[in-house]
Each structure stands twice: as structure tokens, then as C-alpha cells.
Amino acid sequence: MPNAAFTTTLLAFLTAVSFGATTPTPRACEAPYYRYEDNVPGVYLVNFTDGYTLQQHFDTLGQTFDVTKLNTGYSANLTDDLLSEVRADCGVQFIEEDALGLSPAEDDNNIDDFSQSSGFLDRRAKQKDAPWPLVQLSASRQNPTDDTYYHVEDSGQGVDVYVLDSGINHPQDELTDDNGNDRIIDGFNYSNDLDYTDIGPAPGHGTRVASAIGGKGYGVAKSVTLYNVKFFHNGFPDTLGFVRAMQAIIRKHDARKTQSSFKGSVINMSFSLKKTLSSNKQLDLAYDAGISLVAGAGNYGYGPNHHPSTHPKVISVAGSTNGYIPWEEIGTGSNYGEKQIDLWAPGRRLPLCNRNGKLYPSVGTSFAAGYVSGILAIFY
């Protein structure tokens, strides 16, 4: 004869199992979760399988919460509990933390000290007394005796160059058109900076890059349009900001393609991003949309993988001196190596225009990449 207490316990047990009241439901899925040592705490990028929707996801979870929609899924602040729920949804392919790269302050230094005449703020197809990087870039052989930069009229007109950096200051003569109008467009902000000025751990970095790309006196393509794209998180490039910026740029590029005056787009990336699935994907998408991607090879004086420069679809630019040798310093210098580098361009003792509009001697592969972005604009 069964004991009454036992029967009650058994019944309670069976009830619990069949209704899932006290034992956890077995998980059908568990999406991979990628962690990064340096990250924005609590912020995740969630990737859906093709065709899966946010509504389906919320329905599966039985709850809704605040998200930033992405073309590959969404981003949200998740608690540990919610994170496990999200991973258990079979519509989720993977989750990754919002990884941080290095700020340009750690990437680019400006230790040069030299004086050079700044009498070349004069826009010509033949620019006399040009800064040495421009002379070298347009010369047909090494050590040219003629100090002219040969370029074409209206070089880069109709080309959009997206400068993902610390900001670009304006107005300044260096970055205007023939009528004195700005060639800088603000309007891409995925950072937490309160304005579009060139600020952060490396103030002036973005303006100098812009000056290398399209400066009237110091730069390569003197009629390009420069897009001031901000996405750093407290001064550090992060995956989420990068993904959102790239989505916006690709949309803009696709819209511009329908306009007859439009020639092409170049994205210049002057930062060290953490290599993640989500950032790699956006580089592929931008490339597929027909955008040229240029990045500095990094200023660590060595060859290990650097992101995004070593992504196979990105043109990775190393920095050379005016003597045509790799730029090297104690403890720093241009990255190098066959697997790391596509091109070398001037990268040390560079006369460029700073955020205050003044000549500023610069060093770094960032600026080498800026010159190459300018050359691509001329090709377009």
C-alpha cells in the first residue's frame, strides 16, 4: 500500500516536470558567445540567422526590451540572465561583446619637430614648392629634383571620403572649395561626443588626416568631399559604433550612386579596431557595395595582425620616410611584413594642417593612409 506522503511527493515531482515549474526547460540551442578582454561592459551585439525577426525573438523570449536595431540583428544592454535567454533562442547565430580597440592617442604620436615653409596653400594642378610627400607621390622616380606636385584640376570632385576619426575641425582654408565653402560634411555620429569638433585622446588627428586626403595645400585630392564620421566610445573605437557607422555609410553610398555627379566613395580608417565577426562583416558589406577601404597599418613597429588593416579587402598602408625607408623609432614605427602591408606611403615628418588651421608636423601610418585615400579619390 503506497505511503500517502510518498504519493504526494511523487505527484508534485511529476507536476513540476510536466509544467517546467521548478526544473529549467532543456535548452534547444546555445548560440556561441564571444568575449573580449577590453569591452564596453554590458553591451552586446546579437546576430540573427537569415530571415529571423526581432518580433519572433521577443515572442520566443516572452518579453521585450530596448534595443538598437542593426542590419544583422540588434545591440542591447543585457543582464547575465537575459544573455542566457537570448543565447537559448535558436534564431540567434552568435553574440559578441562590444569590443574596444585602441584610441589614436596610443596609435599615433607626433614627436617630430621641424620647420618647413608653409607657402604652398595655393591650389593648382601643378603645385610648386609642394610638401615633400606630395612631390614623392607624383614623381615618376625616386629623389625627384623638381619640387612640384603634379595633380589634376578638381581632383576628387564628386568623390566622398569618409573619415572615421576624432573629428574634423572647420571652417578652415585648407578644407574649403574654390568659393571658400567647406568641403566637410558633419552628420555621422555614433559616438558619445557632444559635438563634431576634433577632440578626444588625440585631438587634431582627424583634421590632419583630412588634410592629407584633401587639403588644398597639404593634401592629395583637393576637391574631395570629406565626411566627418564619429563613432568612438569615450575616445576608443568600439565594434558597435563601427557597425552603426558602416551601415550608415553604405546606405549613403547606395543613395549617392543614383546621382550623376557622384564618382565613388573611399573609407579611411585611422584606428586599431578589435577584430570581431561583426566588424569583419561590415567591411565585407562595404567592399561589396563598391566602396574602397583604406587603413593605416599601425604604428607598433612590428608585423602581427592589426585590424582593420589586415582584413583582405582593406588596403593596408605602411609609413616610409622621405628617404624611402620604413619609418622606425625606438619603441614604435610603422608595422611591416608581406602579409600586413599592401603599400608604403609617406609616414614621417609630414607637414599637415592641425585642428587650429596651423601647420603641424605629423608622424604615423594614419597619415600615410590619408595620402592613399586621396590618390584613390583622384582615380575615381
Applying CB under 6 A, the residues found at the interface with ligand NAG are: 40-43, 47-48, 50, 66, 72-73, 77, 93, 163, 165, 189, 191-196, 205, 209-210, 212-213, 268-271, 277-278, 281, 295-296, 364-366, 369-370
Measured from the CB of residue 295, what is the shortest distance to ligand NAG in angstroms? 4
What's the CA gap between 350 and 178, in Å, rounded? 24
- The residues near 36 (Cβ < 8 Å, ≥ 6 apart) are 96, 97, 99, 100, 274, 276
| Residues 106 and 356: beta-carbon distance below 8 Å | no
Measured from the CB of residue 72, what is the shortest distance to ligand NAG in angstroms? 4
**Which residue type sits at 356?**
N
Measured from the CB of residue 21, what is the shortest distance to ligand NAG in angstroms? 32
| Residues 292 and 213: beta-carbon distance below 8 Å | no
Q: Which is nearer to ligand NAG, 77 or 84 (CB)?
A: 77
Q: Which is nearer to ligand NAG, 60 or 148 (CB)?
A: 60
Q: How far is CA 252 from CA 32, 143, 147, in A?
A: 32, 41, 38
Q: Which is nearer to ligand NAG, 88 or 220 (CB)?
A: 220
Please list the residues that pair with 368 across neighbouring strands. none
Measured from the CB of residue 67, what is the shortest distance to ligand NAG in angstroms? 9
Q: Which is nearer to ligand NAG, 146 or 288 (CB)?
A: 288
What's the CA gap between 109 and 7, in Å, rounded? 76
Q: Which is nearer to ligand NAG, 136 or 279 (CB)?
A: 279
The C-alpha R_g of the chain, in whole angstroms, comes to 26
Q: Which residue has cell 566627418?
A: 228
Measured from the CB of residue 103, what is the shortest distance to ligand NAG in angstroms? 12
Residue closest to ligand NAG (Cβ): 366
